[in-house]
Chains A and B, each alone.
Chain A
Amino acid sequence: DSGVTQTPKHLITATGQRVTLRCSPRSGDLSVYWYQQSLDQGLQFLIQYYNGEERAKGNILERFSAQQFPDLHSELNLSSLELGDSALYFCASSSIAGGTDTQYFGPGTRLTVL
């Protein structure tokens, strides 16, 4: 157990809908990362927050947004969902924002868009 929690574990929804994925980092970690894992694209970095501020942005669609709250948990919002958004979404946390720091991953949320 990495100490990173994600809810829900599974999510099934329809095209056009909006969902929110939640992540709680390890105790003491200030940095949160979101990744999308699909069969054809591998592990894609979406976005990073550090202590409430956006720190880095990757291949995140405009339909997706995220935030990190004062208690350091983070939410990833996916809207106008398409079939191609079906994937595993992982959250990771680390104590600082980069450098030698190790990222610890949560168990993921499996999103299925029908």
Chain B
Amino acid sequence: AQSVAQPEDQVNVAEGNPLTVKCTYSVSGNPYLFWYVQYPNRGLQFLLKYITGDNLVKGSYGFEAEFNKSQTSFHLKKPSALVSDSALYFCAVRASNSGNTPLVFGKGTRLSVIA
């Protein structure tokens, strides 16, 4: 079975500081990993994904994520947070050998960037 854990319900960071939103996963085999962001009253927007290759993935809006196979993690990072980054962030996983199974989403982490 596939699963994703986002251990923090809420992350607070000051504007201009680096931010990290944590995600750990569990799959049998290699994972495909995704990050999405949801702004208030909006649908989820795709940020980035890891399929294979370089462990550091760069995505939209200056976000990046680092795949760590030994720690089964895929933390989302940004060097300098903006107030406009305040939103709900979801990590998702699918096992590479799972065929057509849908993505499994974490429960989400609410990021609050304080001016």
Q: Contacting A107 at CB < 8 Å: which of B43, B104, B108?
A: B43
The residue from A102, A106, A108 contacting B46, defined by CB atoms under 8 A apart = A102
B107 within 8 A of A: yes
- Mark each residue of chain A from 87 to 114: 1 if its CB lies under 8 Å from any CB of chain B, else 0: 0001010000111101111111000000
User: Which residues from B are CB-within-8-Å of A14?
Assistant: none
Interface residues on A, range: 20 to 34
Task: Give the contacting residue for A43; candidates B45, B90, B96; CB below 8 A.
Answer: B90
State A55–B96 Cα separation when bound (angstroms). 17
Please provide the 7 A-B residue pairs with the shortest distance between their CB atoms, ordered closest to farther.
Answer: A98-B100, A105-B43, A105-B44, A97-B100, A42-B107, A43-B105, A107-B43
B102 and A2: CB pair below 8 A? no
Q: Shortest Cβ distance from B67 into chain A, in angstroms?
A: 14
Assess A105 versus B36: contact at CB under 8 Å? Given A2-B43, A4-B43, A90-B43.
yes
List residues of B whose CB falls within 8 A of some A CB: 32, 34, 36, 42-46, 49, 51, 90, 94, 96, 98-108
Indicate whether A45 sits within 8 Å of B102 (C-beta atoms), given known contacts A98-B94, A100-B32, A105-B36: yes
Name which residue of chain A comes closest to B103, CB basis: A103
| Contacts known (A42-B107, A42-B108, A100-B49); A90 close to B102, Cβ less than 8 A | no
List, in ascending order, chain B residues with CB within 8 A of A50's CB.
100
Interface string of A19-54 (1 = CB under 8 A from B): 000000000000001000000001101001010000
Asked if B105 contacts A58 (CB within 8 A), the reply is no
Say whether A11 faces chain B, with CB atoms less than 8 Å apart: no
